[in-house]
C-alpha cells in the first residue's frame, strides 16, 4: 500500500473564512480529518462526506487524547496510505505543538506538509482594533505562553527583558494564570498603568474584549467572569482600540438571531446577518422535496411552446423548474416563445443565472402585486404556466383565471416538516439567550408552531423580537398569537436584514 501524507493545517483563530486557500484545497481531498477544540467545526464541511472525522480536542475541559496518542494516530493513518488533515486552531507552529507532531511523522517516515494559519494573537488583535506594532509606539512584539511555569518553581521566560523591552506582549492560554503573569511583569519593571486587553473567542460573533491595566485586569476579569479561550495583549498599543475598534461596533454585534429558512436557502441570509455582527442560529422549519410525481409538470414543460407566460414566484420555483427542464433534456431555449414573470429581484437574479432576462417584475412582491400587474394586460385566452409549491396560495391562479387566462399550476416542489429542530437552537431558546427570530414565509412560522406546539412556541418566544419578511407572513404570525416587531417595506431578504440593523441599531 502506498504511503499517505499528513497535512498540518492552521485553521485560523475562529472565523472559518480566515483559513487559507491551501488549507481548503487540502481539506477537499482528505480521507481523514483530525481536528482540535479551537478549530471551527464549520471547516469540516470542506472535507468529503466520506472522510473520517476524528475529534482530538477537549471534552469537559480535559483533553480527549494525549499528545502521544495524537502522534500515534497520525502515524497510523499515514501508514495506511490515507490523506490526513490535522486541523489545528491558529497556526500549527505557534503554540500548536505542530513541531512535535512533525517530529513523530518524520521519525516514522511519513510525508507531511505544514500549511500556516492566522495565529490567535494576530487575529485577536486585528478584530479587537489593536495593532500589535505601530511606528509611533513600538516596533517589537513577543508571543508568550501564559501557562508556562504553572507547576514549576522556575520559569523559562526572561521576565526582565519581556517587561522592560517596551514592546507588545501577547500571552496565549493565560486566563487562569492572568493575575500571576501580570504581577510578574510589574515586579520585573513594567508600569502598572500599562494598558491590557483580554480577547475571548477572537474573530467570531461571540468575541468579547475586556480592557484594563496590568494593575487591575485580573480583578476586572474575575468580576466579569471572563473565561478561556482568550489571549492577553499587553502594551501601549491597546489604547488605540478606542479609536480603531471596528468588529464589535457592527450594528448586530452581540445579537443572537434565529433563521428559520430551509437549509439550502439559509446561507446567504445568514451570511448577511453575520456580516453585521450577529450570532446566527440556523433553524430550518422547512424541508424542500420533489413532488410525489412529475407527471403534471412534465406535461406542461413538453407543451411550453403553447404557453404565453411562465410565472415564477421564488428562487425555489426557479431551481426546481429548471432542474426538471434539464432532466427532460431541455434548456432555456425551450422558453423562447414564453414571457417570464419573476416575483421579486432575487427570483429575477435566479432566472438571469440561466441566461433569461424576465419580462415582468411586479413592484409589489406579493401575490396581489402579480395579479395587479396582469390585470393591466389583456389576459383573455392567454395560457399561463405557474410552477409552484404544494402549499402555495391559490390567489394567483384563481385571479388570473378570473381575468380570462387559462392557468396550469403543477407542483414543482413540496414543503415538509424537518424531523426535528436543532438542539442548539432549542437550548438557546430555553436559556432565553435569543434576541430575534426571523420568518421569511408563512410556512416557516406555521411549521415552527407545528413542531413545538403553539403554546410552547409562544412561551419560548417571550421577549424575543419577531421579524417577518412581509404582510402575509406577518398575518400568519399574528394568527398564531405572535407580535411582529420588524417588517421591511420591501419584501426581500436584503430589506429584512437592513430592518434588523435599524431595529437593533
Which CATH code is given to the segment(s) 290-415?
A: 3.40.50.10090
Residues designated as active site: 36, 58, 173
- Domain pair 256-286+418-504 / 290-415, same fold: yes
Burial of 360 (0-12, 13-18, 19+ CB in 10 A): middle
Average pLDDT over residues 191-209: 93
455 pLDDT above the threshold of 60: yes
Q: Evaluate whether 30 touches 37 at the Cβ level (below 8 Å).
A: no
pLDDT of residue 117: 97
The CATH fold assigned to 5-118 is Cobalt-precorrin-4 Transmethylase; domain 1 (3.40.1010)
Which cell numbers in the block locate residue 31? 480521507
pLDDT of residue 151: 52
Q: What is the DSSP string of 121-164?
A: HHHHHHHHT--S-BTTTBS-EEEEETTTTTT-SS-SS-HHHHHH
What digits encode the pLDDT tens for the residues 147-168? 864 455 667 889 999 998 889 9
What digits encode the pLDDT tens for the residues 218-232? 999 999 999 999 999
Bridge-based pairing state of the strands 5-10 and 309-312: unpaired
Q: DSSP label at 359?
A: S
H-helix segments, 247-314:
263-275, 295-302
Among positive and negative, which fits the CA dihedral 227, 234, 117, 281? positive
Q: Evaluate whether 27 touches 85 at the Cβ level (below 8 Å).
A: yes
Per-position b or e across 32-44, b if 16+ CB within 10 A of its CB: bbbbbbbbbeebb
d(CA 94, CA 13): 12
User: Domains of the chain: which residue ranges?
Assistant: 5-118, 122-249, 256-286+418-504, 290-415
**Which of 3.30.40.230, 3.40.50.970, 3.30.950.10, 3.40.1010.10 is the CATH number of 122-249?**
3.30.950.10
d(CA 266, CA 85): 28
| 256-286+418-504 classified as CATH 3.40.50.1110 | no
Average pLDDT over residues 192-204: 95
Report yes or no on whether pTM surpasses 0.85: no
What digits encode the pLDDT tens for the residues 457-492? 999 999 999 999 999 999 999 999 999 999 999 888
Amino acid at each position: 500500500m502506498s504511503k499517505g501524507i499528513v497535512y498540518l493545517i492552521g485553521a485560523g483563530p475562529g472565523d472559518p473564512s480566515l483559513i487559507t486557500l491551501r488549507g481548503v484545497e487540502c481539506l477537499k481531498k482528505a480521507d481523514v480529518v483530525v481536528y482540535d477544540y479551537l478549530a471551527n467545526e464549520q471547516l469540516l464541511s470542506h472535507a468529503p462526506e466520506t472522510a473520517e472525522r476524528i475529534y482530538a480536542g477537549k471534552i469537559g475541559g480535559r483533553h480527549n487524547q494525549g499528545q502521544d496518542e495524537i502522534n500515534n494516530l497520525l502515524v497510523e493513518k499515514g501508514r495506511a496510505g490515507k490523506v490526513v488533515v490535522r486541523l489545528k486552531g491558529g497556526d500549527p507552529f505557534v503554540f500548536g505543538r505542530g513541531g512535535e507532531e512533525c517530529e513523530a511523522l518524520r521519525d516514522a517516515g511519513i510525508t507531511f506538509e505544514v500549511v500556516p494559519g492566522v495565529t490567535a494573537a494576530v487575529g485577536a488583535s486585528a478584530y479587537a482594533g489593536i495593532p500589535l506594532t505601530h511606528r509611533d509606539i513600538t516596533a517589537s512584539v513577543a508571543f508568550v505562553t501564559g501557562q508556562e511555569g504553572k507547576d514549576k518553581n522556575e520559569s523559562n521566560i526572561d521576565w526582565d527583558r519581556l517587561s522592560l523591552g517596551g514592546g507588545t506582549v501577547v500571552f496565549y492560554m493565560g486566563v487562569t494564570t492572568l493575575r500571576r503573569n501580570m504581577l510578574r511583569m510589574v515586579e520585573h519593571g513594567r508600569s502598572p498603568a500599562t494598558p491590557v486587553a483580554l480577547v475571548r473567542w477572537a474573530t467570531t460573533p461571540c468575541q468579547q474584549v475586556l480592557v484594563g491595566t496590568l494593575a487591575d485586569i485580573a480583578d476586572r476579569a474575575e468580576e466579569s467572569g471572563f473565561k478561556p479561550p482568550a489571549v492577553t495583549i499587553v502594551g501601549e498599543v491597546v489604547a488605540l482600540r478606542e479609536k480603531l475598534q471596528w468588529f464589535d461596533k457592527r450594528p448586530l454585534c452581540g445579537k443572537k438571531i434565529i433563521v428559520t429558512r430551509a437549509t439550502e436557502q439559509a446561507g446567504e441570509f445568514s451570511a448577511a446577518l453575520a456580516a453585521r455582527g450577529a450570532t446566527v442560529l440556523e433553524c430550518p422549519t422547512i424541508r424542500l422535496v420533489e413532488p410525489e410525481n412529475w407527471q403534471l409538470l412534465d406535461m406542461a414543460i413538453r407543451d411550453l411552446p403553447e404557453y404565453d407566460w411562465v410565472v415564477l414566484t421564488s428562487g425555489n420555483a426557479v431551481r426546481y423548474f429548471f432542474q426538471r427542464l434539464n432532466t427532460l433534456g431541455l434548456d432555456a431555449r425551450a422558453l423562447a416563445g414564453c414571457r417570464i414573470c419573476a416575483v421579486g429581484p432575487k427570483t429575477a437574479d435566479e432566472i438571469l443565472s440561466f441566461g433569461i432576462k424576465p419580462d415582468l417584475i411586479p413592484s409589489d412582491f406579493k401575490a396581489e402585486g402579480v395579479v395587479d400587474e396582469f390585470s393591466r394586460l389583456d389576459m383573455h385566452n392567454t395560457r399561463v404556466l405557474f410552477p409552484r409549491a404544494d402549499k402555495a396560495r391559490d390567489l394567483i391562479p384563481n385571479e388570473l383565471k378570473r381575468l380570462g387566462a387559462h392557468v396550469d399550476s403543477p407542483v414543482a416542489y413540496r414543503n415538509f416538516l424537518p424531523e426535528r429542530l436543532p438542539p442548539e437552537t432549542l437550548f438557546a431558546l430555553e436559556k432565553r439567550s435569543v434576541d430575534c427570530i426571523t420568518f421569511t414565509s408563512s410556512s416557516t412560522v406555521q411549521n415552527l408552531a407545528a413542531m413545538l406546539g403553539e403554546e410552547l412556541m409562544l412561551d419560548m418566544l417571550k421577549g424575543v423580537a419577531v421579524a417577518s419578511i412581509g404582510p402575509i407572513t406577518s398575518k400568519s404570525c399574528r394568527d398564531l398569537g405572535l407580535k411582529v416587531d420588524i417588517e421591511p417595506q420591501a419584501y426581500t431578504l436584503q430589506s429584512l436584514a437592513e430592518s434588523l440593523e435599524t431595529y437593533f441599531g
